Structure 1
Amino acid sequence: MTELLAADSAARLRALEPESFIVEAPAGAGKTELLTQRVLGLLARVDHPEEVVALTFTNKAAAEMRDRILGSLELAAAGERPGDDAPHRQLTYALGRAALARDAAQGWNLLAHPGRLAVTTLDSLCASLARQMPYLSRFGAQPGVAEDATPHYEAAARRTLALVEETGPPADTVAAALAFMDNDAGRLERLLVALLARRDQWLRHTARGADAGLRAEAEAGLAALVRRDLAAAAAAFDAPLQDCLRAAARFAGATLAAENPESPIARLESWDSSLDDDPATLPLWQGLADLLLTAEGELRKSLDKRQGLPVPAGREHKAALKTLLETLPAGAAAALAPVRDLPLPVYADEEWATVETFSQLLNLATAQLWLAFQEAGEVDFAEVAQRALAALGDDEAPTDLALALDYRIRHLLVDEFQDTSPAQIRLVASLIRGWESGRPGGDARSLFLVGDPMQSIYRFRKADVGLFLKVRDGGIGDLLPKKLRLYRNNRSRPKVVEWINTAFPGVFPDQDEPLHGAVRYAPCLATRPDEEDSGVCLHPVLLEADAEENGSEQEADVLIDLILAERQAHPGASVAILVRARSHLAPLLARLRLRAPQLPFQAVDMAPLASRQAIQDVLSLARALLHRGDRVHWLAILRAPWCGLNLADLHALAGDDHRSTVWQLAQDEERLRRLSTDGQARLRHATAVLGEALAQQGRCPPRRWLEGTWRALGGDRCLAEDERPDVQALFQRLDTLASRGDWTADALETEAARLFAPPDPSPAALALPMMTLHKAKGLEFDTVIVPGLHRASGRDDPPLLLWDEIPTEGTREHLVVAPLRARGSTRTRITPYAALARLEAERARHESERLLYVAATRARRRLHLVGVATVREGGLRTPAAGSFLRLLWEHGAQARFAAALAGAAASAPVALPIAPVEPAADLRRLSLADLPALPPRPAATPARSSEGEGGSDGSGPDAAVGSLVHRALELIAREGPEAWSAARVGERHASFSAWLRSKGLAPREAEAGAARSVAILQGVLASPTGRWILSPHPDAHAEWGLSSSSGEGQHAHVVDRCFTADGQRWIVDYKTLRLTSADPADLLARAATHRPQLERYAALFPSAGLPLRLAVYFVEQDHLIDLSGAEEKIIKLPASGISPAP
C-alpha cells in the first residue's frame, strides 16, 4: 500500500512537467484537480493563455474546469494559503501564485478577462474550426446544431427509399436493397436512420465506391481477425498436445466421414500436421472444437458414436481422449470455442455484391441527409466534426488554419479521453500534426490525455475504449506520450474500496485487448477514514420459477424499505437510485406511488409519457382522423373517456361487420338503434364532433385542428390537473412537426416516445434522485442503491452493415465489412457478419463490466445491490447472461443468494406477499351532462330501446374463452410445454378472470370462464397429443400471421399452429367447443365444417416442398382430427410421440 501511495504521489508531480503524458485516473482519483494544476503550471510558462487549450466532452465539465481554474487563481490572489493538512491544495495554491506572476508580467489580467482561458468542448472546438474556414468546410453561413438530429435522419431515410419510384442507378440500388430486406421498407428505414447517426465511422469507406482493392483489403482484415483467434487456440493446444490428440481425432474423423460426412469432425480424417494460426487450418480447428467441446463450449465429459467413437471399435481412442480432456490446461475450452464461429476469410460473390449495394445506398442516404440539413438550416454534431476535419486538411496538405493552429496551440489537454470516438481521435491527431516526442529547444509542445478506461461506457455515442489503449501503448501521430497511473480513491470509504478491489479483478478480463474492448482492472487505494456503518450489501430476492412475473413488485418493496431505512438512519445523507435502463425504474415508480406517496423523487427523463393513457388517447385520435380505415384506433377513441361507449355498445356497433369502417357504421341509423340509450347519446355527440373535424382536415394548422377536436370531444375535461402539462407537451411537439412539414401520425408517435414526465418540483435536497448509470457518471452520493442486477440489457436491431478496422502487420489496419444476412436466407455458412457481430457482442459484454464498476464507484459510504434470482427444484438458476448478477455470480453473489435460500443469512430480505388481485376499475368516462355542448342540429330519429351492459348474444363468453385459450396456447408453444405445469396454469386463474372481465364479461361469467380455461389448458398439458403439438419442432410457428391476395383484395390469415415433423408440414387449427355429447361422429362432422378454412391455409404454401397435413385440434375434448384425406380421421398419437403417416 505504501508503495502505491508513493507511486501515486510521484505520478501527480510528474504530470505537472511540460511533457506529453497519458494518465490513467481511476474513479475518485481527483483528476479534475490534477488537470487544474497542470493548466496553472502551463500558464506560468507560456506567452499567451490561449496557447494552453483544454478540451472536454460536456459544457458542464468545461464550466466546472474553468471555475476550478479561476477559483484557484482567486484564492492565490487573495493570499489564502491552505493549511498543512491539505498538501494537494497547497500545491494548487503555489501553482496559482506562479500563474498570477506570469499573468502580471505579460499583462493578461485573467481574473478580469476569464474568456481568455481556452477551456471548451470538443464540439465547440469543431464548430469554431468550421466557422474559420467556411469554404473548405462547405458550410458557408454557419448552421445551427441540432441536439437531436433523429428527425433529419428519418427524413433522409424516407427520401432515399422514395428514390425507388424513379428511374436510373439510384432507383436500382434502392430496389436491390429492398429486395434484400424482403421488401420490409419500415425495417430498412430504421436501419438507415441508425447508420446515418454513425456515418462518421463508415462514410470515408463507402466513399471509396467500387474500389477494386477494397475487397482484397477486407479479406486481409478478415484473415487477421481469424488469425487472432487461431493463435489463441494454438497457444492453448501446442504441438505436443496436438500430437497426443491426433490419432484419436483422425479415427473419429474417418468414422464420421463414412457415416456423417457433413459433420465438422469428419474433416479431421486428413489431419496430418500440427495446426497453427494459418486460416487454411480453420476447418480442422473447427472439427477439433466439435470433437472436444459441447454445444455450450464446455469440455466434453463423455464421448460416444456421435463424435465418431463407437464401441467397441473406438474404445481405445475414446479412453485416450477422455484422459486428455481431464488433463487439459485451464482456459483450453475458452480458447478453442471461438473458432467454431469463425468464417473463412473470403467473401462470397453475392456477399460482396450486397456490400457494394449497401455502400451505394448509404452514399445516397448521406446526400439526402445533406439536403435535409440545408432545408432545416441545422446539422448534427457528426457533420460539424467532419467539416472541422476538412477545414484542417490532411497530413500531405494541411490548410492555413491547421498551420495557424500549430503555431498558436502549444499545450493541448483532453479530459475523459477514454470516451473518444474515431472521429475525435482524428481531430486530436490533426491538431498535433507535426509535433514530436522530446522535441529539442525551448518551444516544446505537450499533449496531456487523462481518463479512466475502466469507466468507458458510451459505446452508443461511438466511444471506443480501444482507442485509449492504442494511444497509451502506441502513441498518436508522431507523439508517444509517457504513461502515468494514479491509485488514490479520494471518494469512497475503505470498506467500499476493499469490496471493489476484491470483486472486480474477477469481473474484468485478465489483460487489455483493444480490438475486443477489454480492459483489465487496476486497483485503487482508499484515502478517506473508515466509518462503522459504511460498506457494500447485496440484497437477494428469491422467487419460485412459476412466480417470476411477481419479481418486480417484490424487488420494488425491498427498494422502498431500503430507501426509508436510509432516510431514517441518515437524514442528511444523499441517497440515489441508479439503474441500467429507464425501463428498470417503472415497477419502482408505480410501487412508490402506492406505498410511499409522501416520498419526493427526481427522475429526470425517466418516466416516459407515451405510456400514459391521456397521451395514448390523443395519439389514437390523431391516427383515427388521419385514416378512416384504422379500425383499432377508431374503436379506441369511442372507448376513450370523452365518449365512453361500453363494451356491449361497441360490440353492437361493430362486432358483426368487419368490412365497413367504424366511421361508416357510426353513420348507420339502423345500427345505432342497437346501442343502449346512453350509448346512442354518447355516439351522436362524438360523431358530430368527428364529422366536423374530418370536414376541416387540412383547412387549419394541425395543432389547432387536433387540439380543437380533442377539446370539443371533452378531452380536456377528462384530465387530472397533473396530466394537463403532459398533453400540452405533446401538442407542442405537434407544432414542431408541422413547422418542418413532417406531420404524420407516425411522426407524432415518435415524438411522444421522446417525452418524459417532469421531475418532482420538491426541493432537490429533499427529493430522491433516480437516474441511469450513464447520467450518474461523474456524480457521487453517500448511499447508492442499484436495483435490477438480474436484468440484462436490451438487444438492438442488427445493422445493415458491420464494419471494423482490424490491425494487421505493424500499425496498419484493414477494413472488414459485412452485410446483414438476407431475410429468409437458408445458407448455413458462417459469414463475416457473424464474426463481426460476435466481436461487437464481446465489446458490449466488456462495457457491461465497466458499467457495473461505474455503479459501484458512485458510492461514498454505502452501496446496496438488489437482484432477483429464480429458485427451481430447490436450487438457484444461473442469472441471465449480460446481467450484473451474472458478472458477480462467481464473485460472492452466488454464495449470498445460496445463504438466503438456506435461511442462513438473517439479514436477507424476505419476499413480501403479493397483494391480492384488485377488482377491475370501473369505466372512467365523462357523464352525459359533462359532455361539451354541440351546436343545434336536426333531431335524430327516435331510437328503440336496446339492451344495456348486460346484454349478450349468447356466444360472447364462449368466444372470449376461445380467444384466451388461443393466447395461452401461443405462450406455451413459444416457451415450450416443459416450462409449464398444471400448478403454474392454476395460478393464472385470477389474471384470466381479470382479462375476461376486460373483454366485457360479467364477474360471474369471467370466473366461470377462467375456471374453464384453466381446466382446458391443464388437460392439454396432460395430454400426449397436446404436448406434441406444442413442443418445439423445426420451422414452428404459433398464431402465425400471413396474408394473401385475390380479386377481392388483400386477406389476412392467422394459423394457430404450424410446424414440420417427420417430413410433413402440419397445419393445426384449435377449436374450443362445449359439447353435450362425446360422440366421435359428432366431432368428425364438426371438423368437416372447418375443411374450407384449413384448405385456405394450405393454399398459402403452394411450393412448400413437403406434404401437408391439415388437422383440427378440439382442445377441450383432446381430439386431433386429420383433414388431409377425403375423409376425416381421429389421430391416435403413439406413445413415442411420432406422428403417424396419413
Structure 2
Amino acid sequence: MTSMYETLIAEDEANRLAALGLASFIVEAPAGAGKTELLTQRYLKLLQTVESPEEIIAITFTNKAAAEMRLRILESLKLALDDVPPPQAHKQITYALAKQALQLSAEHHWQLLQNPARLRITTIDAFCGHLARQMPLLSRFGSQPMMSIDASVHYQEAVRRTLEMLDSGDEHGKVVADTLSHLDNNTERLTELLVKMLSQRDQWLGHAQQLDSSKGAEAALCHLLAQDMAQAAAVLPSDLQSQLMPLVRFAAANLPEDASIALLRDWDEPLEADLAMLPAWRVIADFLLTGTNEFRKEKGLNVRNGFPATDEGRANKAVFQAVVDAIRQHPSAELHLSHIRKLPSLEGGEESWHLVATFAHLLNLAVAHLWTVFQEAGEVDFIGVAQRALQALEDETGATDLAMKLDYRISHLLVDEFQDTSPTQVELLRRLTRGWLPDDGRTLFCVGDPMQSIYRFRKADVGLFLQVAESGIDHIRLNKLKLYRNNRSCPQVVDWINQAFRLAFPQQDSVARGAISYRPFVAGKPVAEDGGVQVHPVLAARNTSKLAAEMLEAIQVANIIEAEQHEYPGRTIAVLVRARDHLTALVTEIRRARPNIKFQAVEIETLSGRQSVQDVLALTHALHHRADRVNWLAILRAPWCGLTLADMHVLAADDHDSTIWSLMQDEARLAKMSIDGQARLRHTKQVLMQALLHQGRQSTRRWVESVWLLLNGPACLWDTGDVRDVQAFFDLIESLDAGNGFSLTALEEGMQKLYAAPDAQATESLQFMTIHKSKGLEFDTVILPGLDRGNAQQDQPLLLWEEVSMPDATLGSATELIAAPLMPKGSRQHDLPTPYDYLQGLEKERAQNESLRVLYVAATRAERKLHLLGIAKLDEDAVGQVKEPTANTHLSHLWPQVAAYFMQAAAVTQPDEWINAEEKPTLASFTPQLMRLKQVGKPELFQAIVTKELARNSNLLGESLAKSPPAVEDYHSLEKNIGILAHRYVELMAQSGLEAWNIERLQTFKPVMQGWFQQAGHDAKQAEQGAVKVLHALIVTLDSEQGRWVLQARETARAELALTTIENGDASTRVIDRTFIENGERWIIDYKSAPLNAALNQEAIAQYAEQYRAQLEAYAALFTGEGLPIKKAILFLSIGKLAVLD
C-alpha cells in the first residue's frame, strides 16, 4: 500500500512539472517548498514562448526577493554554459531549461548574460512607478515627483488644512464641525484618526466616493448577519434545541423577571435563522457560553445561572453537560455561537448613515488637501503612485492607450508571494490583463502560501488568495496546484508542526474572516540525528512580577544559546519574537552577564536606546533649552565631561530653581568641587558658552555636531556601531532642517523610526529579529520566547468598511458596501453591539487568525531545532497544576501540544522554587558606573604669559569653533580641510591615550570623517578621498615609532595649546599642536599633513621642514620665560617621521 508520504511526494513532483505548462496557474507552496526555484524554472520555460524577454514580467514584494530571483536566473544561465549538469534532480530541470534559454538568446541576439536588465523582474511598487512615468499627464502627476519614504508629515499638514476649514462658513466647515461634535470636540483625537485614515486611503478612497444610499448597505449587513445566524443554527439543529428547551425554561423560572433569559421562559418551538429572532438567539448564546466564549461547565453552574443547589438543580446540571457535550461535536461550535453575541442591532440606521456620509465627505476633503501638499513638496507616497498607476491603465471610458500598449507587450505575468497582495494590487493585475482572451497564449502565474499571509498592516488580504483561486481575476481562470514538499526542515520538526498546527488552525477557510485551514506538508530532507522540537516551560507564582518572569525566561534563552554555540559552533541561531520589546529582557541579560554572546539585532533597538545617541540627544535638548535641567545634568554626566555624582551634588543639589547653566557660572560653587571636576566643568562650560553665542548662525546639524566635536564626542564612541548610530542621528537632524524645519518634537518622533546599527563584532551566526523580518530566511536553530505575550491593541479608525458579495439575479453576484462610523461610548443609545462593533469584531478575528499564521512562519524557519519558551502561572490551589494561558496568545494556540510539558514541570517544582515577587532594588545595592574620558579639554593657559584680563575676554574658543567645520571661504581647499581634520584626530589620540587607539578603531571613524568633509562643502567623491587621506596619516602616525613617541602620555604634555599674547596692543593667539617637557627640555612640535614620499631620507625631510622654521621660532618665543632649552620639530603625519629643527 502506498503511504501518505509517498502519495504527497508524487503529487508534489507532478504539480511542479505541471506548473511549467503554458496555462495560468495559482500555486499553493508551503514554507521551504522552493518557490524561487519554481519561479526560475517557469521564467526560463516562458522564454521559449516569446519574441523578446521583455514580454515576461515577474513581480515580487521586496527588493531582496526581486534581486534573489534575478540572481537565480542568471546563475542558472551561467551554469548552463558548462556541459556538466548538476546531480540534484530539480537542478537538472533548471539546467535543461537554462540550456534552451541560452540557445534562444543566441538565436534572437538577446544577450541575456550581457544585458541582465532585459529580465523584467521588479517589485510591485517599482512597477507602479514605471506605469505612472509612462503617461505622466494621464496619471495626474505632470512632472515626476520624488518618492516620500515617510509621508506622515504630509498627512499631518493635509489634516491641519482640512480642520482649518471649520471657520469657512460653507458646507465643508459644517462637515468639520459635525465630526468634531461627534467626537466631543477632541481635535487631537480627530487629527490622529484622519492621519491614520490617510495612510490607509487605498482601502477606502474608492468607497468614500461612491456612497449613494443606505439601502444597499443595510441589505449587505443583513446578508452577513444571516450567514452568521445560519452557522449558529447549524450548531443547534432542532433536536438539540428540543433538549435545551426544558433547561432554559428551568433556569428562567429560577431567575428574576427582568433577567434576559425571561424572553424564553415559555420556549417550546425551535428557533429559525431569522434576524427577527436575533434577541432569542442572543439569550441562548449567553446561556451556553461564559464571558470568555467557552462552553459553561457543569461545576460552574449555580444559582446565578438559574441552577439552585437542589436535587432538581443538580439533575438539570448533569443534563446541561450532556447537551453541551453533544453540541461540541460540531466543528467550531463555540466560535459560531460566540458570533451571535456580536451581531449588531439595526436600530438607528439612518442616523448612522448620516454620520457615514459626513465622515466620507471629510475624508475626501483631506485627500484633496493631501494632493495639494504632495504637489507643493514635489513628493508622493507609495499609495499615491499605485493609485496613479491604476488611473494610467483605466479611466472612466475604459482602457487607456497605455493599457492597450501594455496589453500588446505583456505576454506573461508572474507574481510571487501572492498571499500578501492587497485589493489595489489585485485591481492592478485585473487592469493589466483586461484585454486577454482565453487560449490566446498569455498567462498569469501566481504562487504563494496562504498559511504565511502575515502582512495585514500592509493591507494584505489573504481572502484575495482564496477568491482568486476559486473565481480567478475577471475572466481569467487559474488552474489550482498544490506543493507538499518542505526542503528546509528535518522530518522531526515537520511532523511536530503538522501535528500542532493542524489542531490550532481554523477548521475551514473563510474569506470574510481571513481564516485559513491547515495545509499539511512533508519533509524532503532525511532525519537529523540532533533535530527536533524542545519545550522549555517557565513557571511563575501568582504574585510574580512580569519583569521577574521575563528575566528568568531570558536567562533560559541565554543558556540555550550558549549550549547550542558550544555544541554546534558553526551553526546559525535565530531568536524570533512577535514584537521588538519582547527582546528587552534578553538583551539586558546578555549585556549584564553574558558579554561573550555577540548577536546581530536586526532593526530591534531604536536609535534612542543607545547610550552614545542618548548623550548627543541630551546635548541637543540642552542647547535648545537652557532650563531643561535633566538634559543639562545629562551632558555633565556624559563621557566628554564625566562629573562624579559628588561633584554634581555640590553643583546643583541645594538649588532646584536656578538653571544648571547659571549654576555653572557660580565660581563659589565650582571652588567646592574636586580639582578634576573643576577642570572638566570649566572645559565644558567654555565650549557651551561659545556654542550658545553661535546659535542661529548655522544649520542645526552643523551647530550641534561642532559642539560635539569640540567636546571630544568622537573619542567617546566604542565601535563602528556607535559611529553609525551617531551619524544617523546627525543625518536625521539634517533631514529635518531640510524639510519643514527642525524641532525637538520632530526629532524625538523621527528617532522612534530609526534603529541602532548591529554589533560590529557579531556575525550572522546569532541573530535577533522579529518574526516578520525573518520571513523567507532559515536557520539551523530557532528559539521562540515570549509565547505567552498578548496581541497589540486594536485600532479604532474613524470609519470601517466591508465589501460583501451579494447574490444577484442577473449578474450571479454583485458587491455591496457596508460602512460604519466610530461611535464613542457616550453617543450610543443602547448597550447592544453596533454595526461598527460588528465590523471591528471581524477585524479582530482576522487579526487573531493572522497571529496564528505568524507563529507558523516562525516555527517553519527552523532547519534542525526549534526551541519554544513561554511563561505560565502555577495554580497555587492545586499543586502540580498550571493555569491555562491567556486566550489568543501563541502559547494558547500550542497548548494542546505543549500543556503536558508544563504540567510535568509543575509536578516536580516545589513552591519554594517558584519565581516570586520581584525584589525591589535599593539605592544601597545600586552602584552607578561612570564612563568618561581620562582627560578632557584644553589645559589652563600659562599665567606667566597670558594676563587674567585677556584670558577672561579673548574669544579663545571662538578660534577653535570657527574651524569646525571650516568657514565658507575655505570650502574649496580639500588639502586644507584634510589638515584640519587630521589635527583634530591626532589631538583626540593624544588626549585619550594611545592605548585606547588601534587601526581597527580608527577605521570605524571613516563615515564620520566623510560626513564632516561633505558638511565642509565637498562632494561625495572628495569626501571619500579626504577621509582616506586622513585615515592613512593617522594609521601611519600611530604605527610609527617617532609618531608614538610624540603622542605618548606625559604629565607635562599639552595638545592644541592656545596661547594669547599682546602684540602692538592687539591680542594674538597661536595654537601649538603638541608641547611637553622631556629630559629637562621643552619640545614644541607642529603637525603637517602634506603628502610626502615615504622613501625620502632624513636629509630631504629636514630640508622640507626648514620652510616652517619661522613659524616654530614664533612658538618658541612664547616659552622663553621658562628658562628651559627648547627643541623645535615637525611631525609629518603622512610618513610618521619627525624632523628636528636645530
Structure 1 residues 429 and 37: CA distance shift in structure 2, 3 A:
same
Distance 1:105 1:204 in 2: 48
Whether 1:264 and 2:268 are equivalent positions in the alignment is no
1:915–1:786 distance in 2 versus 1, CA, 3 Å: farther
Q: 1:46 aligns with which of 46, 50, 57?
A: 50
Match of 1:769 among 763, 767, 770: 767
- Shift, 1:926, TM fit: 7.2
What is the rounded CA distance, in whole Å, between the counterparts of 2:124 and 2:431 in structure 1?
A: 13
In structure 2, the residue matched to 1:207 is 209
Q: Which residue of 2 aligns with 1:877?
A: 883
Q: Residue in 2 aligned with 1:902?
A: 907
Contact 2:532 2:865 in 1 (8 A): yes
1:509 is displaced (CA, Å) by 1.1
1:511 aligns with 2:508: yes
Deviation at 1:837, TM superposition (A): 1.7
- Work out whether residues 538 and 869 of structure 2, in 8 Å CA contact, stay in contact via their aligned partners in 1: yes
Report what 1:285 is aligned to: 281
TM-score by length of 1: 0.73
User: Which residue pairs with 2:596 in the alignment?
Assistant: 598
118-127 or 370-379: bigger deviation: 370-379
- 1:564–1:245 CA distance, 2 compared to 1 (3 A): closer
**8 Å CA contact 1:495, 1:530 repeated in 2:** yes
For residues 630 and 361 of structure 2, the distance between their equivalents in structure 1, rounded to whole angstroms, comes to 39
Q: Note if contact 1:200-1:423 (Cα within 8 Å) is conserved in structure 2.
A: yes
**Is contact 2:548–2:918 with CA below 8 Å preserved after alignment?**
no
Cα deviations by residue, 1:788-826 (Å, 9 ceiling, x for unpaired): 222223225432222222333254332222222326556
Give the direction of change, closer, same or farther, for the CA distance of 1:877–1:672 in structure 2 (3 Å limit): farther
Tell me what 1:1063 maps to. Answer: none
**In the TM superposition, what whole-angstrom CA distance separates every residue of 1:511-546 from its partner, at most 9, and x where no partner exists?**
111111111111111121112111111122222233
Maintained 8 Å contact 1:271/1:284: no
Shift of 1:684: 9.5
Q: Helix, strand or coil: the match of 2:819?
A: strand
Distance in 2 separating the partners of 1:267 and 1:686: 79
Q: Choose which of 7, 10, 30 in structure 2 pairs with 1:6.
A: 10
CA distance in structure 2 between the partners assigned to 1:80 and 1:582 by the alignment:
47
What residue is the counterpart of 1:139 in the other structure?
Answer: 141
- For residues 775 and 546 of structure 1, what CA distance do their matches in structure 2 show? 35
The one-letter code matched in structure 2 to 1:492 is S
Question: How many residues align structurally?
Answer: 917
1:62 is matched with 66
The SS at the match of 2:748 is: helix
**Conserved 8 A contact 1:578-1:773:** yes
Report the Cα distance in structure 1 between the residues aligned to 2:308 and 2:558, rounded to whole angstroms.
60
Asked if the contact 2:606/2:754 (under 8 Å) is kept, the reply is yes
The corresponding residue for 2:788 is: 790
Report the counterpart of residue 234 of structure 1 in structure 2.
233
Partner of 1:779: 777
| Residue of structure 2 equivalent to 1:830 | 833
Check whether the contact 2:57–2:414 (CA below 8 A) recurs between aligned residues: yes
Q: Of 453, 469, 472, which residue of structure 2 is paired with 1:456? A: 453
Q: Does 1:376 align with 2:381?
A: no
Instruction: After TM superposition, give the deviation of residue 191 of structure 1 in Å.
Output: 3.0
Q: Shift in Å at residue 126 of structure 1?
A: 0.8
* Structure 1 counterpart of 2:152: 150
Structure 1 residue 18 corresponds to structure 2 residue 15: no
The alpha-carbon deviation at position 834 of structure 1 amounts to 1.4
Letter in 1 for 2:587: L
Tell me, yes or no, if the aligned pair for 1:252 and 1:268 is still in contact at 8 Å.
no
- Aligned residue number for residue 89 of structure 2: 87
Q: Cα distance, 1:374 vs. partner?
A: 2.1
Other-structure match for 2:244: 245
Q: Deviations over 1:273-293 (max 9, x none)?
A: 543333222111112222232
Measured in 2, the distance between the counterparts of 1:29 and 1:284 equals 49
Paired residue type of 1:877:
K
Equivalent residue of 1:29, what SS?
Answer: coil
Superposition deviation, residue 934 in structure 1: 12
Summarize the alignment of residues 715-1114 of structure 1 with structure 2, pairs less than 5 Å apart: 723=722, 725-762=724-761, 764=763, 767-809=765-807, 811-822=813-824, 824-825=826-827, 828-873=831-876, 874=879, 875-891=881-897, 893-903=898-908, 919-922=925-928, 924=930, 930=936
8 Å CA contact 2:489–2:864 kept in 1: the answer is yes
Q: Which has the larger radius of gyration?
A: 2
Could you say if the C-alpha distance between residues 293 and 694 of structure 1 is closer, same or farther in structure 2, counting changes exceeding 3 Å? same
8 Å CA contact 1:279, 1:345 repeated in 2: no
Instruction: Return the alpha-carbon distance in structure 2 between the equivalents of residues 815 and 697 of structure 1.
Output: 57
Measured after TM superposition, the shift of residue 345 of structure 1 is 3.7
Name the SS of the counterpart of 2:138 in structure 1: helix
The answer to whether the 8 Å contact 1:25/1:487 transfers is yes
The C-alpha deviation readout for 1:175-224, integer Å capped at 9, x for no partner, is 4444444444444333333222211111111223xx441x3233223222
- Partner residue, 1:1101: none
Aligned partners of 2:503, 2:858: CA distance in 1, in Å? 16
User: Contact (CA 8 Å) 1:789, 1:867: kept in 2 or not?
Assistant: yes
Other structure's SS at 1:545 match: coil
Offset from partner CA, 1:91-113 (integer Å, 9 cap, x none):
22222233334334434332333
**What amino acid maps onto 1:570 in structure 2?**
Y
Structure 1: gaps spanning 5 or more residues: 941-1142
CA distance in 2, matches of 1:162, 1:707: 38
Quote the residue 1:109 is aligned against.
111
Aligned residue runs from structure 1 range 37-436, under 5 A? 37-83=41-87, 86-164=88-166, 168-208=170-210, 211-213=211-213, 215-246=214-245, 249=248, 259-261=256-258, 263-268=259-264, 273-300=269-296, 301=298, 306-307=304-305, 324-325=323-324, 327-330=326-329, 331-345=332-346, 347-393=348-394, 397-436=398-437
Does residue 518 of structure 2 align to residue 521 of structure 1? yes
Question: What amino acid is the match of 1:853?
Answer: Y
Q: Which digits, 9 at most, give the CA deviation of each residue in 1:430-460, with x for residues without a partner? A: 1111334xx24xx322111111111111111
Structure 1 residues 886 and 319: alpha-carbon distance in aligned structure 2, compared to 1, 3 A threshold = closer
Counterparts of 2:288 and 2:267, CA distance in 1: 15
Deviation at 1:329, TM superposition (A): 3.8
- Cα offset, 1:172, TM superposition: 4.0
Q: Is the 8 A contact 1:51 1:411 kept in 2?
A: yes
Specify the code of the residue in structure 1 equivalent to 2:561. I
- The DSSP-based 3-state class of the residue aligned with 1:598 is coil
CA contact (8 A) 1:689 1:712 kept: yes
Identity within the alignment, %: 47
Question: Residue 1037 of structure 2 corresponds to which residue in structure 1?
Answer: none
1:117-152 deviation per Cα after TM superposition (whole angstroms, max 9, x unaligned): 222221121111111111110112222223333333
Secondary structure at the aligned position of 2:927 is classed as coil
* Whole-Å separation in 1 of the counterparts to 2:917 and 2:260: 52
Q: Is the 8 A contact 1:653 1:675 kept in 2?
A: no
Q: Are residues 278 and 933 of structure 1, via their aligned partners in 2, closer, same or farther at CA, if it must alter by over 3 Å?
A: farther
Q: In 2, Cα distance between the equivalents of 1:913 and 1:309?
A: 43
Residue 791 of structure 1 aligns to a residue whose secondary structure is: coil
Partner of 1:543: 540
Distance apart, 1:672 and its partner CA? 11
Unaligned stretches of 5+ in structure 2? 942-947, 953-1142
Partners of 1:831 and 1:648 in 2: CA distance = 62
TM-score, normalised via structure 2 length: 0.73
Q: Conserved in 1, the CA contact under 8 Å of 2:688 and 2:707? A: yes
Aligned residue type for 2:549:
G
**Cα distance, 1:616–1:18 mapped onto 2, change above 3 Å:** same
| 1:754 Cα offset (Å) | 1.9
3-state SS in 2 of match to 1:578: strand
On the 8 A contact 1:143/1:377 being kept in 2, the answer is yes
Q: For the Cα contact (< 8 Å) 2:626–2:661, is it kept in 1?
A: no
Question: Given that residues 632 and 661 in structure 2 are in contact (C-alpha distance below 8 angstroms), is that contact kept between their aligned partners in structure 1?
Answer: no
- Alignment correspondent of 2:609: 611
Does the 8 Å contact 1:434/1:478 carry over to 2? Answer: no
Q: Is the 8 A contact 2:722 2:757 kept in 1?
A: no
Q: Distance in 2 between matches of 1:56 and 1:667?
A: 59
Partner Cα distance (1:647, 1:60) in 2: 54
